[in-house]
Amino acid sequence: EAGVAQSPRYKIIEKRQSVAFWCNPISGHATLYWYQQILGQGPKLLIQFQNNGVVDDSQLPKDRFSAERLKGVDSTLKIQPAKLEDSAVYLCASSIGAPGELFFGEGSRLTVL
């Protein structure tokens, strides 16, 4: 069974530029999560989708971050314009929707200069 796929693995941009991350969850997983993990900290939820609808974006900085999950499968997380403090690993995770394991992708490491 294929795992959660993410790309790109690494991205370096200058502040005020834009960047987009892509995630393809495990087939059949209805719930998709984007987490931000700053070095030395635990993952922090940015946004949660159930199928193609947003169920929690309370911690998403909406002035610069946006995300979508078209057709309830792939998802894209965009940052525009980026700030230095956005340097982090962006983790995509999926679950089947019942209580149980979150499956993580390998993450996308963003460095903002």
Partner 1 sequence: QKEVEQNSGPLSVPEGAIASLNCTYSDRVSQSFFWYRQYSGKSPELIMSIYSNGDKEDGRFTAQLNKASQYVSLLIRDSQPSDSATYLCAVSFRGAFDGTYKYIFGTGTRLKVLA
Contacting residues toward partner 1, per CB under 8 A: 31, 33, 35, 40-45, 48, 50, 55-56, 91, 93, 95, 97-102, 104-107
Beta-strand relationship, 10-13 and 108-112: parallel
Nearer to partner 1, 40 or 71 (CB): 40
Measured from the CB of residue 16, what is the shortest distance to partner 1 in angstroms? 27
Nearer to partner 1, 56 or 85 (CB): 56
Nearest Cα residue to 50 out of 63, 69, 78: 69
Measured from the CB of residue 60, what is the shortest distance to partner 1 in angstroms? 14
Q: Please report the beta strands in the chain, taking only residues with DSSP state E, as ranges in sequence order.
A: 5-7, 10-13, 19-24, 31-37, 44-50, 53-56, 65-68, 75-79, 88-95, 103-104, 108-112
Measured from the CB of residue 29, what is the shortest distance to partner 1 in angstroms? 12
Nearer to partner 1, 92 or 112 (CB): 92
Measured from the CB of residue 44, what is the shortest distance to partner 1 in angstroms? 8
Q: With 0-12 CB in 10 A as exposed, 13-18 as middle and 19+ as buried, what is 29?
A: middle
Nearer to partner 1, 56 or 68 (CB): 56
